Amino acid sequence: MKPKLLESHSVFPTLDMRRTAAFYEEKLKFRVVEYLDVAEPHVCLYRDSTEIILTQSNGQKVIPNRELYGYGYDAYFITKQQEELEQELIDAGVTIVRSFHHSDYNNKEFVIEDIDGRWIAFGIKQ
């Protein structure tokens, strides 16, 4: 059976798309492509085979999942090079909220906080 789902892209509403994009570009080394003069303005962020789409929040503050629901990440990106990536982000001054570890659900992962307060995990199932 052919796979029907190929990839996914995270969509992050934000108060200031350019500010958030600058954080991802400078700290996480994403490439930024702006689509601000279209019917639904957005910014695409690219790194390797990962894409994040930033949209305008219409003045609403970003509320991370852990605040809305009591726990949970706002995105989970799959990587086999967690320790190398974590060190790269530490060197860039990114806030690490959970250092590289083995989770109780059998993942090897670490978690950062982005400029809007989102918790983003980087890991893989073992």
- Contact at 8 Å (CB) between 74 and 119? yes
Please report, for residues 21, 49, 71, 84, 102, the alpha-carbon distance to residue 110 in angstroms, rounded to integers and kept in the order given. 22, 19, 15, 11, 9
Phi and psi at residue 38, to the nearest 5°: -115, 170
Q: Are 124 and 110 in contact (CB under 8 A)?
A: no
> pLDDT tens digits, residue range 16-65?
999 999 999 999 999 999 999 999 999 999 999 999 999 999 899 999 99
Structural domains of the chain sorted by starting position, each given as residue range(s) with its CATH number in brackets: 9-57 (3.10.180.10), 73-125 (3.30.720.110)
Alpha carbon distances (Å) from 40 to 36, 50, 53, 56, 90? 8, 21, 12, 9, 34
Q: 53-99: per-residue pLDDT in tens?
A: 999 998 999 999 999 999 999 999 999 999 999 999 999 999 999 99
Q: Taking the complete model, does pTM exceed 0.85, yes or no?
A: yes
